[in-house]
């Protein structure tokens, strides 16, 4: 956690007392199966809230004992629009 007041990502010790966050996805979006999204929703009220939503999702996943998968592929970012295709989407997910 960043403990420097004034930082965009500042988190106080009261908000999060730990010294490290569990793994989390940093970015503007995530791809989750509907069952995992539902599990996150169901457990979210029992996980102490933190204003950084990507870290909060990581805390929920940690509580659920769900590990993140790293994708190392040229297909994880699309700078241009792509046509929707079920076979192609399945490869991404």
Please tell me the predicted confidence (pLDDT) of residue 46: 97
Cα–Cα dist 58/20, whole Å = 12
Residue 17: other Cβ atoms inside 10 A: 10
Full residue range of the structural domain in which residue 52 is found: 1-93
What is the total count of domains within the chain? 1
Residue found by looking up tokens 């989390």 in the block: 24
| DSSP category for residue 10 | B
Please tell me the predicted confidence (pLDDT) of residue 61: 95
Question: What is the pTM assigned to this prediction?
Answer: 0.73
pLDDT digits (tens, 9 = 90+) for 12-70: 999 999 999 999 887 767 778 889 999 999 999 999 999 999 999 999 999 999 988 76
Q: What are phi and psi of 10, to 5 degrees?
A: -60, 135
């Amino acid at each position: 956690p960043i403990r420097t007041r004034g930082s965009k990502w500042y988190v106080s010790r009261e908000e999060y007392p730990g010294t490290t966050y569990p793994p989390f996805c940093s970015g503007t979006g995530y791809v989750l199966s509907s069952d995992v999204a539902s599990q996150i929703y169901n457990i979210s009220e029992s996980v102490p809230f933190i204003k950084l939503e990507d870290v909060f999702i990581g805390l929920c996943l940690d509580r659920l004992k769900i590990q993140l998968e790293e994708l190392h592929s040229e297909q994880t970012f699309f700078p241009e629009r792509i046509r929707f295709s079920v076979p192609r989407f399945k490869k991404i997910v």
